[in-house]
Amino acid sequence: MKEFGKHMVFSESLKKNIDFRNVYSHGVSHANRFLVMYVLENCTNCNRLGISVSKKVGNSVVRHRVTRLIREAYRLHEKIYRHGLDIVVIARVNAKGASYQEIETSFLHLSNIHHIMKAG
């Protein structure tokens, strides 16, 4: 879990379908123009980030670009998030042409709505 360099330090990736379904069914969701964010407490001391980009968003090159932008927006602000959360981010079709700044702003906006940032 403790990785250095350009990796997430306090977080892991959410990969299993059952974990995604659990967050969808028990988590709280909020959305804005580019993203939908589901958040669920996970009873551990680390966060797990799941990213979902459907084929409606674009071809594999476009989908991977959007995935990288979302992951980077989280990674750069990882230290400000409370621990013990499963966070699933779904890219909406509008995210296809979005810049990094737009994705980052959208991500932080949803994080504020969810109140998942540390106080102070």
Asked whether residue 6 is assigned to any structural domain, the reply reads no
Which CATH number belongs to the domain containing residue 32 in this structure?
A: 3.30.230.10
Name the residue range of residue 48's domain.
11-114
Residue 27 above 50 pLDDT? yes
| Confidence band, pLDDT 50/70/90 cuts, at residue 120 | low
Asked whether residue 1 is assigned to any structural domain, the reply reads no
DSSP string, the chain: ----SSS-SSEEE---HHHHHHHHHHSEEEE-SSEEEEEEE-SSSSEEEEEE--TTT-SHHHHHHHHHHHHHHHHHTGGGBPSSEEEEEEE-GGGGG--HHHHHHHHHHHHHHHT-BPP-
Asked whether residue 67 is assigned to any structural domain, the reply reads yes
Asked whether residue 60 is assigned to any structural domain, the reply reads yes
Asked whether residue 4 is assigned to any structural domain, the reply reads no
pLDDT tens, residue by residue, 79-103: 999 999 999 999 999 999 999 999 9
| Confidence band, pLDDT 50/70/90 cuts, at residue 30 | very high
The tally of domains found in the chain comes to 1
Asked whether residue 28 is assigned to any structural domain, the reply reads yes
Asked whether residue 119 is assigned to any structural domain, the reply reads no
pTM above 0.85, yes or no: yes
Asked whether residue 3 is assigned to any structural domain, the reply reads no
